[in-house]
């Protein structure tokens, strides 16, 4: 078998952690499998580097910032390769560029354009373990790029795809994907399997387990992904294709507290107004999560409410303020004290009453629903942040997860 194994920063905190991971890789390699390893930077290295760059306004020169930040992964790759060699496993640290990862020239947030796995193939054929730096590549002009923070999962899945690997194992400090965040829902259980689509909808929970871009890439290329714990031997959660109708309508519930609600109040109630507001945000590169338009019955005006990620908040508010002025609206309301509770499952579309169950569960607990959004496999409700964790438990228990 050919396996790509990716280890995140929490699995590589110290030299002792690196040694433990090396022994784990060795055990697989000794069974005769071909193993390629992808690593993130050790512990807080990236934050430390960014802090230093901050003192020099590093964001003003993103191409130089990428050279700085990529050293974090180079160090962990080099140390991991040394640890493997020490344990008798031939290994070679490689940058993303050497691993053939060609990206766009968008420094700091480059996209993978193509992968030339020739060097990796050569090393694997020689029973050498390539240890590749995660989250980076090389631009068409030959300069180093990074994929943006957390792009290590994407690197691993993209390499697994290019190498035609049998699976891509993503190791972290959690043993897979749960029916809910176990820190909030004490009786949450680990899931054995999950579809790519379900994983995508669970992204807000899954951010700690697997990145959205990485899941999208896996879905597109069909690489089976195993989310596993570095510190346990359990198989973890397999994320793969499969459209079979699951027995349960809802697979897991998720909570996202990093959302902000922006209300454009008293805009003219005419067709195209909501579309215009969404368009302005899209042009600024801001993703809108939920949109809700309510008629205000007097004077033919309406209220539009939408949610964005907290990270986009400042920019989104600026765009919405301009939009409100363009439309002749009355007021802008910004509410950061909200949370999004989602019930996710491939069965949502095929089971009646899933939405009703969610609404009843929240109503029974006296929790007010501010906005609702549904997709084929998800129902999301915006609630007050103060109610967030109680809401998650209510919904989790309503589906007997």
Chain residues in the site for a copy of itself (CB under 8 A): 15, 18-19, 49, 52-53, 55-58, 60-61, 63-65, 67-68, 70-71, 74-75, 77-79, 81-83, 85-86, 91-93, 95, 98, 119, 142-143
Q: Which residue has the tokens 């193509």?
A: 114
CA angle 183, 367, 311 (to 5 degrees): 55
**Residue number, 73 or 197, with CB nearest to a copy of itself:** 73
DSSP 103-122: E-S-TTS--EEEE--HHHHH
**Residue number, 98 or 370, with CB nearest to a copy of itself:** 98
7-34 as b/e: b if 16+ CB within 10 A: bbbbbbeeeebbbebbebbbebbeeeeb
**Residue number, 101 or 383, with CB nearest to a copy of itself:** 101
Work out how close the CB of 15 gets to a copy of itself at its nearest, in angstroms, rounded to a whole number.
5
**Residue number, 60 or 299, with CB nearest to a copy of itself:** 60
Work out how close the CB of 86 gets to a copy of itself at its nearest, in angstroms, rounded to a whole number.
5
Residues near 60 by beta carbon (within 8 Å), at least 6 away in sequence: none
Q: Which residue has the tokens 């999301």?
A: 380
What are the contacts of 20-26 at 24+ separation with CB within 8 A?
20/230, 21/80, 21/83, 21/171, 21/230, 22/80, 22/83, 22/84, 22/86, 22/87, 22/89, 23/87, 24/230, 25/84, 25/89, 25/129, 26/84, 26/87, 26/88, 26/89
Strand residues in 67-166 grouped as ranges (E): 91-94, 101-103, 112-115, 129-133, 136-138, 144-146
**Residue number, 71 or 296, with CB nearest to a copy of itself:** 71
Work out how close the CB of 222 gets to a copy of itself at its nearest, in angstroms, rounded to a whole number.
31
Work out how close the CB of 87 gets to a copy of itself at its nearest, in angstroms, rounded to a whole number.
10
- Classify residue 53 by burial, with Cβ atoms within 10 Å: 0-12, 13-18, 19+: middle
Work out how close the CB of 85 gets to a copy of itself at its nearest, in angstroms, rounded to a whole number.
4
* 322: number of Cβ within 10 Å: 12
**Residue number, 55 or 352, with CB nearest to a copy of itself:** 55
**Residue number, 148 or 242, with CB nearest to a copy of itself:** 148
**Residue number, 67 or 257, with CB nearest to a copy of itself:** 67
Q: Please report which residue ranges of 293-384 form alpha helices under DSSP H.
A: 313-327, 354-364
Work out how close the CB of 29 gets to a copy of itself at its nearest, in angstroms, rounded to a whole number.
16
* Cα gap 10→220, rounded to integer Å: 28
Work out how close the CB of 165 gets to a copy of itself at its nearest, in angstroms, rounded to a whole number.
23
**Residue number, 62 or 235, with CB nearest to a copy of itself:** 62
Work out how close the CB of 28 gets to a copy of itself at its nearest, in angstroms, rounded to a whole number.
20
Work out how close the CB of 105 gets to a copy of itself at its nearest, in angstroms, rounded to a whole number.
13
Length of the chain: 401
Strand residues in 134-284 grouped as ranges (E): 136-138, 144-146, 167-172, 193-195, 225-229, 237-240, 252-256, 259-268
* Cα gap 5→396, rounded to integer Å: 31
Closest residue by Cα to residue 94 from 41, 130, 121: 130
**Residue number, 79 or 239, with CB nearest to a copy of itself:** 79
Work out how close the CB of 365 gets to a copy of itself at its nearest, in angstroms, rounded to a whole number.
51
């Amino acid at each position: 078998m050919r396996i790509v194994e990716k280890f995140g920063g929490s699995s590589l905190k110290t030299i002792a952690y690196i040694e433990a991971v090396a022994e784990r890789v060795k055990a697989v390699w000794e069974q005769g499998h071909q193993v390629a390893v992808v690593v993130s930077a050790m512990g807080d290295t990236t934050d430390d580097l960014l802090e230093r760059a901050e003192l020099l306004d590093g964001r003003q020169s993103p191409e130089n910032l990428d050279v700085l930040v990529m050293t974090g992964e180079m160090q962990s790759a080099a140390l991991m390769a040394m640890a493997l060699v020490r344990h008798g496993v031939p290994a070679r640290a490689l940058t993303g560029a050497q691993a053939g990862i060609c990206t766009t020239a968008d420094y700091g947030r480059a996209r993978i354009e193509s992968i030339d796995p020739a060097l990796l193939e050569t090393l694997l054929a020689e029973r050498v373990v390539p240890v590749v730096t995660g989250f980076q590549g090389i631009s068409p002009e030959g300069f180093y790029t990074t994929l943006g923070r957390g792009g290590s999962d994407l690197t691993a899945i993209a390499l697994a795809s290019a190498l035609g690997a049998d699976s891509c194992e993503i190791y972290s400090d959690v043993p897979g994907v749960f029916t809910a965040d176990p820190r909030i829902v004490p009786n949450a259980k680990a899931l054995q399997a999950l579809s790519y689509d379900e994983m995508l909808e669970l992204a807000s929970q899954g951010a700690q387990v697997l990145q959205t871009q990485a899941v999208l890439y896996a879905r597109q290329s069909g690489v089976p992904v195993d989310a596993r714990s570095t510190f346990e031997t359990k198989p973890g959660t397999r994320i793969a294709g499969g459209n079979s109708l699951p027995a349960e309508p809802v697979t897991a519930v998720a909570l996202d507290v990093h959302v902000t609600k922006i209300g454009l109040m008293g805009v003219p109630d005419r067709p195209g107004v909501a579309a215009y507001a969404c368009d302005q945000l899209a042009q600024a590169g801001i993703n809108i999560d939920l949109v809700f338009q309510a008629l205000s019955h007097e004077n033919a005006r309406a209220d539009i409410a939408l949610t964005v990620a907290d990270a986009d908040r400042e920019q989104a508010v600026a765009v919405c303020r301009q939009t409100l002025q363009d439309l002749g609206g009355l007021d802008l309301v910004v509410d950061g004290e909200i949370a999004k509770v989602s019930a996710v499952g491939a069965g949502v579309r095929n089971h009646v009453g899933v939405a009703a169950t969610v609404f009843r569960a929240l109503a029974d607990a006296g929790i007010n629903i501010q906005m609702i959004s549904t997709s084929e496999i998800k129902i999301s409700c915006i609630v007050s942040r103060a109610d967030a964790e109680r809401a998650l438990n209510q919904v989790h228990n309503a589906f007997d997860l």
